[in-house]
Amino acid sequence: MSTVKKFMYVNRHAPYGSIYALEGLEVVLIGAAFDQDCCMAFIDDGVFQLVKGQDSSASGMKNFSPTYRALGDYEVTRLYVEKESLMERGLTKSDLMELTYEDEDDDWAEKPSIQIVERSELGRLMEEQDVLLNF
Amino acid sequence: MIFSIMVSEGPYTHQASDSAYQFTKAALDAGHEIFRIFFYHDGVNNGTRMTTPPQDDRNIVDRWSELAKAHDLDMVVCVAAAQRRGIVDVDEAKRHGKDGDNIAEGFRISGLGQLIEAGVKSDRLMQFGD
């Protein structure tokens, strides 16, 4: 497919309690095979998806958080986390998993995938996209 | 304009499927093209022909089937989401040893790539969810 469009996957829900996060991540992984320009945004309770040390065993639900570590290998290298959503939930960057990717344009240097952005900046980024998918 | 539609919620519980239907119909009436309608999450439940609402209510599933037939629409139910929720066609039923299928007329089961392709090939991908 020759057309390259900008896709943003917007994650709004906590990882457990509903299936949106898990099924949303499945779309991102499939979408990565289409060589589009894709990124992810984490807003509202969606920021909980990236919290480190998740243990879902008591709920009987599968802990799928290790999958986020694979995103870099799928060339999903931009994960925008909304600053205000973190603050509103008493979270800081240090509560999140350390997700990285290897930058092929910079001698495969390991770089952080997560970028904390302000609400207004995220709005601007959304404006640039061709396709927004909400989960 | 070429539109694709994504339905992210099941029928009746949420308005998403109703809104998606009304939008699709209005777009077609206005002369626009619908490239594909993709059903994801609980949206796959829009594709079971076992749905039997009360007679004085709209039949959301039949309504989709009829619209698809009238306009030759491509309505795709995500296979992974469908498997979780028990939406099966003849092939899926056979593959998983189920005693019957329930896919409604006009729907077909396929993969998530169909959603991404819809995003790439349409001018607008409209998502109807909660």
Q: What are B23-82's pLDDT values in tens digits? A: 999 999 999 999 999 999 999 999 999 999 999 999 999 999 999 999 999 999 999 999
Mean pLDDT of A108-127: 97
Pairing of strands A100-103, A109-112: antiparallel
Burial B47-77 (b: 16+ CB within 10 A, else e): bbeebeeeeeeeebbebbbebbeeeebbbbb
Chain A residues in contact with chain B using a Cβ-Cβ cutoff of 8 Å? 1, 3, 5, 7, 19-20, 23, 26-27, 30-31, 33-34, 36, 130-134
Question: How many C-alpha atoms does A77 have within 13 Å on its Cβ side?
Answer: 15
Interchain contact B115–A (C-beta under 8 A): yes
Length of chain B counted residue by residue: 130
Interchain contact B6–A (C-beta under 8 A): yes
CATH architecture assigned to A6-134: 3-Layer(aba) Sandwich (3.40)
Rounded to two decimals, the ipTM of the complex is 0.94
Whether residue A2 has pLDDT greater than 80: no
Q: What are B111-130's pLDDT values in tens digits? A: 999 999 999 999 999 999 98
Q: What is the DSSP letter of B4?
A: E
Q: Is A134 in contact with B116 (Cβ distance < 8 A)?
A: no
Interchain contact B119–A (C-beta under 8 A): yes
Q: Is A132 in contact with B120 (Cβ distance < 8 A)?
A: no
Among candidates A98, A43, A109, A52, which has minimal Cα distance to A71? Answer: A98
Regarding the domain delimited by B2-128, which CATH topology (the fold level of the hierarchy) does it fall under? Hypothetical Protein Ychn; Chain: A, (3.40.1260)
